[in-house]
Each structure stands twice: as structure tokens, then as C-alpha cells.
Structure 1
Amino acid sequence: MTVETAVPVAYLNRIATAVPPHDVHAAFVSFADRLLRDRREHVLFRRMADRSQIAHRWSCLAPAVPDAPGADEAIDTTGFYRFGSFPSTADRMRRFEADAPDLVTRAVERLDLGPSPPTHLIIVSCTGLSAPGLDFTLIDRFGLDPSIERTVIGFMGCYAAINGLKLARHIVWAEPKARVLLVCIELCTLHLQESTDLEQVLTFLIFGDGCAAALISAEPSGFALDGFQAIRVAGTAGQITWQIRDRGFDMTLSGRVPGSIADGLRSASGRLLPDGPEAIDLWAVHPGGRSVLDAVEAALGLPASALATSRDILRSYGNMSSATVLFVLEAMLREDPGGRRGCAMAFGPGLVAETMRFSSARH
């Protein structure tokens, strides 16, 4: 005779976020504009900057002060990015190792781990890596159990937070008393490239730095993690790439991405949303850019108000890769009155849309 054991429900209990102190959006747009030599591309870039719906982005780099010595040649006060002398991969990783620990610490401090320490730690990043890494930083700074179970999810791009939540749910299923600390840390502004290619220069317009920390457990508070589904769009593998090269991490971000996302969501909408989009109250969509949000809205036939939170995060922070969708979920969790059903999604290399169904815990 077999005895069936009920599988515990995993909940995203709470989220805390942090960004560096320097607002670099205006400085980055101005610097990128100067990289372009073709007049038509210059005009197009300015038009896209005006329509980006981004007002602020934050960086560990302090923007150069206008009219200060050397300000015409460098984007930041330390000269990390200087015309004709962009940093090597080693320089970028040294900067990540210097700045990421404090940003991670700030986010986890705001999370408030409470009296019960985490039993599992998941670190997510696609913008920096070292060993010993940020998992050990958190163990040392917060006095965590040295035998805490540690996992690092690296180089998956903007959808990696969804994969982190998926792993956390499996942990809670296997160990109902588990308390999983998930940390997504991205210093995207360390990976800009000196280029005259418009698609590459557009990274100056979109990306910012940020960190999000989340606690996942079987405690029935926050959002229940109801289910996950990945949607891969055939024939799009080259549209988003992220490769380590001598001069840093080199990104391909094709202008065809929004259209491909829309095609993928339309073709998979039946299995993704079996009860139709009208059954979803909360849309936590990764704001990869204005055109990405527009594509999701059009593909699923959503009202203009559906992606308001995602657009607010884009406006205030830009695209922070994996951390961004947790910023969106944090804003929703903070204002949730209960009794709602939601769908989160984020996009990245593959081309893949990683999606998550969630619902409010009973109040």
C-alpha cells in the first residue's frame, strides 16, 4: 500500500531591491550618440531615445561632470569608458568584484531574513563571475550557516530569475521546511562596447544595474508559484546572444526580437493561457524595452493598463537583465490586496520566453 504525500505549495514571500546611486541615463545616451557616424543612424538613434520610455537608469559608474577636464573623452569619472580605450574583460570583472558585494548586501538587508535563517541560497547573474563568489559574501556578511546549500545560475540572461524561482519551488517541494534566498545581481553597465553598429550602440539606451533579493518558502504569504512553462521560438537563436570576448561580454540584440516574441506568444497562447488572458489579473512582464512591452500587449490583446507596472519599472530603472522581473513582482506584491491570479514572463537567448503562473496567498 502506498501513501501519497501532498506536495507543499511554494510561495514567493517577499522581495527587496537595490540599485547603485548614480543615474546615468542622460550621460549614456549622449555618449552613445557620439559613437554613431552615419547621419541617418544618428537621427534614428535620437528618435529611439526619445521614444524609449526610459527616464532613469542606475550604475556603479559615476557619470562624468560636464565641462570637467576629460569629460569630452570619457563617460564616467574614473575613465572606465573612454573613446578609443574601452576596458578589457579582466577590467570589467575586477569592477564587478569590487561593486557587486555591496549592492547584494543592501538588497538582502532590505529583505529582512527574519529569525529563521535561509537553508538554501541561489545566486543569479549573467554580468559577472568569480570564485569564491557572492554566495560566500552573503554567508560571511550575514552569518549564514557555512553548510547552507548553494547554487549559482549563470549566463542565462534576462529570464534567469524565472529559472531561479523554478529551482526554488523544486527545493520547497523536496524539503517543505526549506527557506530559499534567491538573489539576482546584474551590473549591466559594465558591458557596453565601443562600436559604430546601431544595434550594439542601442545597449547604451536600455541597460542599467540592479539587484533583487527574494525569499521563497512554504509559508502561505505572498504569491504562490503555481506553474512554469518555457516557450522557445524556432529559428531565432541568433537574435539574442551573450558571449565572452577579449573586450568584455559581447551582446547581440536584434531589432527583430519584439516581433519574434509576439509570434511565439501568439502560437503558444492556448497552452500558456488556457482560460484566456482575461483570467489574468497581474501581468509581470520583463520590460526588455518599450517595443518588447508593446509586442506582448499586442500579441495577447491586453488592455493598455495591463503592463502599467512593467512600464513604470522600465521608466525608473531601464532593463536590469535578470533582476528586472523581480522589480516588477516586488511592486505588485507590495500593493496586492489578495485574491488575484498572475502571469510573469521574461525573455532571453534561445529565443525563449520563460513564464510563470502565480496567485495571491489567501489573506
Structure 2
Amino acid sequence: MSAYPAVSAYLNAVGTATPPHDIHHAFIDWAGARVAAEDARLFARMARRSGIGHRWSVLPPTAEGLSPVSPGGFYAEAMPGTAARMALYAEAAPALSLDAVAALANRADLNGITHLVVASCTGFVAPGLDQIVARALGLPGSVERLLIGFMGCYAAVAALRTARHLVRSEPDARVLVICCELSTLHLQETTALEPLLAMLQFGDGAAAALVTNEPHGFALDAPFAATLPDSDALIRWAITDTGFAMHLSGEVPRRIADALDDDAFRTTVTAGRDAHAIDGWAVHAGGRSILDAVEQALALPGDALAPSRSVLADHGNMSSATLMFVLERLLAGPPVEHGVALAFGPGLAAEGFGFRSAS
């Protein structure tokens, strides 16, 4: 038995930011004109059923106010090279991250930050996004930084889990956590249905959170992680000469549902509780079919995933930032007695943690 008292870590507040340019319907028009003729009707139906109304991009509109795929836009001619995309990331990712921190500052005191944890899988720059943001915020050089890269959609779990470990080991720690993803920098030229449906999901967004030992917000309980066997090919990023090419298999929702039917996996996710005893679900809004798979496999009430579905409708899938957007909405809602945060990503892996209202 430990001689030291347990220290709890709390997610005190979350702030979020998205760019001003809505590109969702422009993408649907662009992709619909490229998909193979025999798949056009299916693509249109899937776009209508996606549950997504808006997706936001750091890519600016053209001089005429049109989208990046219009004449004069970033994607108007040949697909830009990775260097051009990373140059935009180096400029836009810090700016959007700072917007999220500014939103967080309206909800929490950000004085005395001791640690900075940053997650991103949609770009590379050195000095890193963590250093650029720390400098812009005027954080002292003594602040300990960690950059979590290329973990994909569950990286918010890894970032918040790391913050929890830091606070539990250093009770005076004040950890600033940032997730920033610019998925729209990685449009690919293709006529194949599956990659176009994958690209249909993704938008840009950033979220910032404060984790301390101060008891307000959500208490962060034990984390969990599991890898689904024989599934590593279902979600992939490939770095190409024209950006990062996403592969998101249509098999993912079924594999998630199958996993949640397994007693051991279900027990891991719910910490042994009946799913109906959980009154706060923060499920990564990876797509309507993924949310449907979780809801149906756990036989959840129809409104259990409402925060996730509303984030999907308003923003699409913003990779690692998405889960933080969901937690922001839950923090603004009724108290949570038994909550579960859950995200899926490359591996195919599932990661999450329990949480509950501090009061």
C-alpha cells in the first residue's frame, strides 16, 4: 500500500476554435463530379446521410469568395506538393492553436503553466508546434513540453492521459493541452469511392484544455487502451509527394461493433459497469457510421451520443481535436456521475478514460 495520498487530476475547462471557411458542400460538388459514374448515386446518398452539415478549413477562399477547389484556389490546378502543404501548416496550425487557447483563457486562469502537451498528426514543422505556441504565449523556457505526433484520432486521449499522469506525479503541475489538426491540407486527386468518402468526413479544428489538481470540471479517472486484432490495415496515413493520403476502410464500423460485443473489451471500455449506468459519453465523432456502431453495440439510448453527433454535424471529424470538442459540450451540460471518453484510430486501436463531474 502506498504511503502517499492519491492526487486527483481534473479537466478544468476546454476552449475550441475552427477556421471561418466552410468547405463541406464545395467538396461534395467537387467529389461528386469525380467519382466513377457507377458510384455517383451512392456517393450522393452517403453524403446526405453523413450527419455532417459543415466542415471548416484554414485554406482561404478565392478572390471571388469561392472554395479551394475553384479556379484560383489552392487545389484548382495540379495537386500541390507536400512542401506547399507543410508551409501552410507551419503558418496556420500555430494561429488556430492560439485561437483555441484564447477561448480557453475565457474559462480558466492560464497563469503558472508548468507543462505543455501538444497533439497533431496533420503536419510537421521544426521548431515544433509546441515551441512556436509556447513562444507566442510567452511561456518561460522552464515549461516542459511534449509533442504527440501521428497518433491520429485518439491522440486527445493520449494527451489528456499524459496530463493526468503529470498532475498525479507533480501535484502543483498546471498542464496546458492542445490538439490541432488541419486535415483539409491533404485533399487527394482520386475517382475511387472509398477515399472520397473518407475525405468527406474531415475538417480543421483546434482545442485547448487545462488539467490541474483543482477540483472543478471533470475528474479524470483511469485510462484504458486496447488494440483490435488483425485490423492494422483499416486506418492508415501515408506520406506522399502530394500530402498525407488517408485510408479509412468501410470495415471500421463493423469491427468496432464486433469488438464491443466482446465481453472483455466491453468491460474494459465501461470499467465493468452496465453501459446504461454511464450518464456521460464522449465518443470521438469519427463519422455517423462509427457513432451508430457504438450506440447499437452498447444498446444506448437515442440521445446518449447527442454531444458527439452535434460536433459531427457542426464540424465533421477533426481527428485528435474532435474528442475535446465533445468534452467541451459535456462540460457545459448537466453533471456527470459516470462518464466514458472513447476514441478509435490507427491500429485499429481504442483508447479512452473514465471521467466524472468534480462536484
The alignment's TM-score, normalised by the length of structure 1, stands at: 0.94
Q: 1:232 aligns with which of 227, 233, 247?
A: 227
Q: 1:301 aligns with which of 295, 299, 302?
A: 299
Q: 2:99 aligns with which of 106, 113, 123?
A: 106
Q: 1:246 aligns with which of 236, 241, 250?
A: 241
Q: Which residue of 1 aligns with 2:44?
A: 46
- Equivalent runs, 1:101-250 vs 2, <5 Å: 101-112=94-105, 114=109, 116-250=111-245
Q: Within 2, Cα distance between the matches of 1:149 and 1:231?
A: 28
For the structure 1 residues 216 and 104, does the alpha-carbon distance in structure 2 shift closer, same or farther, using more than 3 Å as the test?
Answer: same
SS in 2 for 1:12: strand
Indicate if the aligned counterparts of 1:35 and 1:201 stay in contact, CA closer than 8 A: no
310-319 or 111-120, which moves further after superposition? Answer: 111-120
- Equivalent runs, 1:321-360 vs 2, <5 Å: 321-336=319-334, 338-360=335-357
Letter in 2 for 1:106: D
Please provide the CA RMSD for this pair: 1.8
In the TM superposition, structure 1's runs of 4+ consecutive aligned residues that sit over 4 Å from their partners are: none
Letter in 1 for 2:84: D
What is the deviation of 1:158?
0.3
Letter in 1 for 2:28: V
Q: Within 2, Cα distance between the matches of 1:115 and 1:347?
A: 30
SS in 1 for 2:304: helix
What is the deviation of 1:139?
2.1
Q: Within 1, Cα distance between the matches of 2:191 and 2:336?
A: 50
Structure 1: unaligned runs, 5 residues or longer: none
What is the deviation of 1:340?
2.1
Q: Within 2, Cα distance between the matches of 1:150 and 1:202?
A: 36
What is the deviation of 1:279?
1.5
SS in 2 for 1:335: coil
SS in 2 for 1:302: coil
Q: Within 2, Cα distance between the matches of 1:138 and 1:34?
A: 40
Q: Which residue of 2 aligns with 1:22?
A: 21
Letter in 1 for 2:197: L
For the structure 1 residues 60 and 43, does the alpha-carbon distance in structure 2 shift closer, same or farther, using more than 3 Å as the test?
Answer: same
SS in 2 for 1:35: coil
Aligned length, in residue pairs: 354
Structure 2: unaligned runs, 5 residues or longer: none
Q: Within 2, Cα distance between the matches of 1:218 and 1:141?
A: 26
Letter in 2 for 1:346: A
The alignment's TM-score, normalised by the length of structure 2, stands at: 0.95
What is the deviation of 1:345?
0.6
Q: Within 1, Cα distance between the matches of 2:320 and 2:345?
A: 9
Letter in 1 for 2:22: D
